[in-house]
């Protein structure tokens, strides 16, 4: 742990009290800390979450907050509500508080160098979680923990190669996530690379639904109005898929039958629809990375080096599986 632990802890305690007082007045406060008892040996982790756009994100936040309590890590949590400038501001506040470690899930890939240079100058290690950044200076971050989005895109494509065997042409529409975010870029390229060798597949239109259910519905309504034939929907997350399914049903079509649906995340609602036959394939992307983040934060606070990349172990759920009824409940 770094210098001035007692002063820092005292400051964090005052901050916690202020936050408690503020949240009593403001029911939707977006700043929080753990309630774990503080002591001078506790690791202080500043975590900037990018928002709460999906069930996945809410599950991710819960995983991090619960894991911090279990691990005895004092967590300073801020929610940027989908705004990069709020994430940058949060990181600057963590630097000012002299936290031991900063972790954040970057909403988009570009534009982080300046604030991360400030963290580096302050001697605070920065771990990126879930999404990645685009930088020419790899020393600005100490590591990454999360999913392999490119592999997820390839898995989505691989399911279609099997599902559409025997069909002469396959018309695909894509609803992607937040523009310039890692999952939007990497899932899209993995999917295209997997299908590249098979000329039957054409992506006729790709639109962004920003990972939001409401926008997933709007996007699908537009796609249905512009394309007379849609064989497949590849949707980059379950929240948008749930919205798209509403639009498909309102158009009098049967999701999973008239339009094959491939989605990413694996939240409970999507697994339930897979069992009902309204979704054909769910590529898992787990938000449950809180324990890994806490273990890494402790190692970093102790001055250890960590691996550059740590990936979650993930699978695919599809209509071809025979174990769907025995799956344990999802935690998101
Ligand atoms: O970065 C992970 C993605 O972000 C998840 O797939 C999506 O649901 C979330 O909003």
Tokens at 154, concatenated: 């390839």
* Strands (DSSP E) found in 65-154: 74-79, 101-104, 126-129, 143-146
Residue-level pLDDT at 41: 82
Residues 12 and 140 occupy one common structural domain: yes
Q: Do residue 124 and residue 15 come from a single domain? A: yes
Q: Tell how far the Cα of 161 is from the centroid of ligand 1, in angstroms.
A: 24
The stretch 255-269 carries a mean pLDDT of 98
Please identify, by atom number, the ligand 1 atom nearest to the C-alpha of residue 285: 6
CB 202 within 8 A of CB 172: yes
What's the whole-number mean pLDDT along residues 237-266? Answer: 98
Closest CA to 191 of 152, 164, 161: 152
238 neighbors 267 (Cβ within 8 angstroms) = yes
In this structure, which residue's CA is closest to atom 3 in ligand 1?
183
189 φ, ψ (degrees, to nearest 5): -75, -35
Kindly report the average pLDDT of the chain as a whole number: 92
The CA distance from 54 to 242, in Å, is 11
The whole-number average pLDDT for the span 122-149 is 98
CA–CA distance, 116 with 133 (Å, rounded to integer): 11
The confidence score (pLDDT) of residue 39 equals 61
The per-residue pLDDT for range 162-179, each reduced to its tens digit, is: 999 999 999 999 999 999
For residue 179, give every residue at least 6 positions away whose Cβ sits within 8 Å of its Cβ, in sequence order, or none.
108, 208, 210
> What number is the average pLDDT over the span 89-96?
98
Q: Which one, of 288, 301, 316, lies nearest residue 127 by Cα?
A: 301
Res 11: pLDDT:
53
* Same structural domain, 302 and 261: no
Compute the distance between CA of residue 156 and CA of residue 104 in angstroms, rounded to an integer.
27
- Nearest Cα residue to 288 out of 313, 262, 323: 313
d(CA 207, CA 30): 30
pLDDT, tens digit (0-9, with 9 covering 90-100), for 93-109 = 999 999 999 999 999 99
Whether residue 109 is found in the same domain as residue 207? no
Per DSSP bridges, beta strands 31-33 and 74-79 are antiparallel
Asked whether residue 32 falls in the same domain as residue 117, the answer is yes
More confident position, 74 or 2: 74
The order of strands in the sheet holding 316-318 is 201-208, 170-176, 232-235, 260-265, 281-284, 316-318
Is 321 part of any domain? no
Q: Which domain holds residue 55?
A: 6-145+288-311
The answer as to whether 319 is a domain residue is no
For residues 105-128, give the mean pLDDT: 98
Same domain, 106 and 140: yes
Q: Is residue 54 part of a domain?
A: yes
Q: Tell me the per-residue pLDDT of 13-64, one tens digit each, with 9 for 90 and over.
A: 444 444 434 443 333 334 455 444 456 689 999 999 999 999 999 999 999 9
Q: Is residue 110 part of a domain?
A: yes
The answer on 69 and 87 residing in a single domain is yes
Q: What is the pTM of this model?
A: 0.90
The average pLDDT across 234-242 equals 98
Closest by Cα among 89, 15, 87, 12 to 44:
12
Q: How much is the pLDDT for 28?
A: 35
- 256 and 299 together in one domain: no
240 C-alpha to ligand 1 centroid (Å): 10
Lowest pLDDT segment from 9-23, 78-92, 196-210: 9-23
Q: Do 175 and 304 lie in a common domain?
A: no
The number of domains in the chain is 2
Residues 223 and 113 in one domain: no
In a domain, 259, yes or no: yes
Q: Can you give the pLDDT at residue 33?
A: 53
The domain that holds 210 is classified in CATH as 3.40.50.2300
CA of 64 to the centre of ligand 1 (A): 15
Give distance in angstroms: CA of 57 to centre of ligand 1. Answer: 6
Report the sign of the C-alpha dihedral through residues 120, 48, 331, 178, in that order: negative
Question: 66 with 153, same domain?
Answer: no
Q: What is the pLDDT at residue 31?
A: 46
Q: Among 56, 153, 212, name the best residue to mutate to test ligand 1's pocket (greatest count of ligand atoms within 8 A of Cβ).
A: 56
Q: What is the pLDDT of residue 12?
A: 53
* Domain membership flag for residue 323: no
Query: What's the pLDDT score for residue 6?
Result: 46
Q: Is 54 in the pocket of ligand 1 (CB under 6 A)?
A: yes
pLDDT in tens, 296-317: 999 999 999 999 999 999 999 9
Report if residue 157 sits inside a domain. Answer: yes
| Separation in Å, CA 88 to CA 119, 122, 191 | 11, 15, 31
Residues 203 and 108 in one domain: no
Asked if 33 contacts 77 with a C-beta cutoff of 8 angstroms, the reply is yes
Ligand 1 touching residue 183 (CB < 6 A): yes
Q: Is residue 318 part of a domain?
A: no
What mean pLDDT is predicted for residues 224-241? Answer: 98
pLDDT of 133 reads: 98
């Amino acid at each position: 742990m770094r210098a001035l632990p007692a002063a820092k802890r005292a400051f964090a305690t005052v901050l916690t009290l202020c936050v408690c007082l503020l949240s009593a007045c403001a029911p939707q406060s977006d700043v929080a800390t753990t309630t774990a008892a503080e002591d001078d040996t506790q690791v202080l982790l500043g975590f900037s979450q990018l928002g709460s756009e999906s069930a996945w994100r809410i599950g991710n936040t819960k995983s991090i907050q619960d894991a911090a309590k279990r691990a005895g890590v004092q967590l300073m949590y801020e929610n940027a509500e989908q705004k990069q400038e709020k994430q940058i501001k949060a990181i600057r506040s963590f630097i000012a508080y002299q936290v031991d470690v900063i972790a954040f899930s970057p909403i988009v890939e570009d534009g982080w160098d300046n604030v991360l240079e400030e963290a580096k100058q302050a001697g605070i290690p920065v771990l990126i979680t879930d999404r990645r950044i685009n930088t020419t200076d790899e020393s600005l971050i100490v590591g990454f923990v999360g999913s392999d989005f490119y592999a997820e895109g390839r898995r989505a494509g691989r399911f279609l190669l099997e599902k559409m065997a025997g069909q002469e042409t396959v018309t695909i529409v894509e609803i992607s996530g937040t523009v310039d975010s890692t999952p939007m870029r990497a899932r899209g390229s993995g999917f295209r690379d997997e299908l590249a060798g098979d000329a039957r597949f054409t992506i006729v239109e790709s639109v962004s639904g920003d990972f939001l259910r409401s926008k997933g519905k709007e996007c699908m309504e537009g796609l249905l109005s512009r394309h007379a034939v849609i064989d497949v929907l590849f949707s980059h997350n379950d929240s948008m898929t749930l919205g798209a399914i509403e639009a498909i049903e309102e158009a009098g079509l049967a999701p999973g039958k008239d339009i094959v649906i491939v989605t990413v995340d694996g939240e409970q609602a999507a697994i339930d629809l897979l069992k009902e036959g309204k979704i054909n394939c769910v590529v898992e992307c787990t938000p449950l990375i809180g324990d890994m983040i806490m273990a890494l934060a402790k190692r970093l606070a102790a001055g250890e080096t960590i691996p550059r990349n740590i990936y979650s172990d993930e699978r695919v759920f599809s209509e071809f599986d025979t174990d769907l009824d025995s799956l344990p409940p999802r935690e998101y």
